[in-house]
Amino acid sequence: MEEQKLEVVNKPTVNDIARVAGVSLATVDRVLNRRPGVRAVTIQKVQKAIDELGYIRDTAAANLARRRVYNFLFVLPDTDNEFVEALSNQIAEQSRNQFIERTRTSIQKVTPFEPQDIVEILDAVDGREVDGVAVFGPETPSVRDAVKRVRDKGIPVVAMVSDLPSSDRDHFVGIDNVSAGRTAAHLMGRFVHQRGKVLVLTGSRLARDHLERRQGFDLVVAEDFPHLEVVASVEGRDDPELIYKMMPEIFDSYPDLVGIYSSAAGNAGLIQFLTESKVSEELVIIAHELTPLSREALCMGTFDALISQDSGHIIRSAVRLLRATSDGVPFNRAQERIRIDIYLKENLPP
């Protein structure tokens, strides 16, 4: 029959399964979605047909029929930090496209470095309203536990930017921060020609990303660049003003400072100090995240390189992962890998 020819060319549908298995559409659907109320024998029959035909579900059609809408919640620290702002902006900008793809996103801002806040938000998550959560927050036992509780409710959670490892984690959306620190160290080692001291400006010891960066940085300097010495790192709490105030003392303490690795946020304070105080042009500065401010500093030559992660990619990736996890379908690891971007003044995006 002609019918057979079509079967070869077109991809099989639920109707094909039903016909081959000799059951109704409803039953096929029950088996497909692991719904109860089907005899074991029937399940076998249907499963056999599914396998034989090499059935692949048409998610678009399924979502249409189901009138599925994904509701995702983003939990971000409530700072005026440019990078966090970039993430918020991306969530807003992408919301139109996400809308078209049947997903709605909302943002909850929480007090920075205040785990208890995150815990409360997470515990308040209602599975009837929220289909997935993306969190950017510190890694503390309480946060980890709260994340686990959300997952136990069957709601997928992804960690953004800073990892929140757990045995049953869904995924981490961000760069390998140890590797980012190593990269910064390599650039520092090769950009600095003379012998001297290097300072690491960090954010908070609660922030896993900051710790990892520092760790990677120290390792590589020690291994590969004997002409450099990393001095005790300074905690800037991502606070521009604090950082600005701390700088003079640092330069007094280390007259032979040849480089600064600004591994966290608060670059505004650093930039302000550097431009005001006219430090040596030789001083190599490597910072994190491409933002309007850091971009400007890079162009002016105040910064020498930037280690960055694409905020647009992070948000898209978080949404794709949440959707995939929510549907129980696989995702493309390579596509979801967030790259460690290196920016010099020559490869800035337009």
Q: In what order do the strands lie in the sheet with 70-77?
A: 103-110, 70-77, 132-135, 157-160, 171-173
Which of DNA, its own copies, none does residue 168 bind to, with CB < 5 to 8 Å depending on kind? none
Q: Which residues of 84-101 are buried (b: 16+ CB within 10 A; e: fewer)?
A: bebbbebbeebbeebeee
Nearer to DNA, 19 or 169 (CB): 19
Q: Which is nearer to DNA, 29 or 229 (CB)?
A: 29
What would the DSSP string read from start to end of 145-161?
A: HHHHHHHHTT--EEEES
Q: Which of 145, 160, 150 is nearest to 315 (CA)?
A: 160
Give dist(CA 25, CA 261) in Å, integer.
62
Closest to DNA by CB, 41 vs 334, is 41
- For its own copies, the binding residues (CB under 8 A) are 2, 5-6, 9, 11, 56, 58-61, 63-64, 69, 94, 97, 99-100, 104, 128-129, 179-180, 182-183, 185-187, 190-191, 193, 216, 220, 304, 310, 312-313, 316, 332, 334-335, 337, 339-342, 344-347, 349
Among residues 4, 8, 37, 128, which is the contact residue for DNA, using CB under 7 A? 37
Nearest to 314, CA basis, from 59, 90, 147, 80: 90
Nearest distance, CB of residue 132 and DNA, angstroms: 18
If one asks whether residue 250 binds DNA (CB under 7 A), the answer comes out as no
- Could you say whether residue 249 binds DNA (CB under 7 A)? no
Q: How far is the CB of 95 from its own copies (least distance, A)?
A: 12
Tell me the window of 63-71, 160-168, 197-205, 237-245 that interacts with DNA (CB under 7 A): 63-71
Nearest to 298 by CA among 308, 312, 287, 309: 287
Total residues in contact with DNA, by rule CB under 7 A: 31
Return the number of the residue (40 or 334) whose C-beta is nearest DNA: 40
Minimum distance, C-beta of residue 99 to its own copies, in the bound complex (Å): 7
Element containing residue 350 per DSSP (H, E): none
In the complex, the smallest distance separating the C-beta of residue 41 from DNA, rounded to whole angstroms, is 7
Indicate which of its own copies, DNA, none lies near residue 182 (CB less than 5 to 8 Å, by partner kind): its own copies
C-alpha torsion sign, points 47, 53, 57, 60: negative
The CA distances from residue 320 to 72, 75, 323, 341, in Å, are 11, 17, 5, 21
Q: Choose the one of DNA, its own copies, none that binds residue 222, judging by a C-beta under 5 to 8 angstroms depending on kind.
A: none
- Write phi, then psi, for 73 (nearest 5 degrees): -110, 130
Q: Does residue 30 belong to the site contacting DNA (CB under 7 A)?
A: yes
Residues 6+ apart with CB under 8 A from 114: none
Query: Which of residues 23 and 134 has its CB atom nearest to its own copies in the complex?
Result: 134
Among the listed residues 64, 299, 344, 348, the single contact to DNA using CB under 7 A: 64
CB of 314 closer than 8 Å to CB of 338: yes
347 makes contact, choosing from DNA, its own copies, none, with CB < 5 to 8 Å by partner type, with its own copies
Pairing of the two strands 341-343 and 305-308: antiparallel
Is position 61 an interface residue for DNA (rule: CB under 7 A)? yes
Cβ-Cβ contacts under 8 Å for 88 (sequence gap 6 or more) = 76, 107
CB 227 to its own copies: min, Å: 12
CB of 303 to DNA, least distance (A): 47
Task: Examine residue 1 and tell whether it contacts DNA (CB under 7 A).
Answer: no
Q: Are 177 and 208 in contact (CB under 8 A)?
A: yes
Binding mask 177-196 for DNA (x = CB under 7 A): --------------------
Alpha helical stretches, state H, 153-266: 177-191, 208-224, 240-253
Supply 318's token pair.
């978080």
- Contact residues for DNA, defined by CB under 7 A: 10, 13-15, 22-30, 32-33, 36-39, 41-42, 55-58, 61-62, 64-67
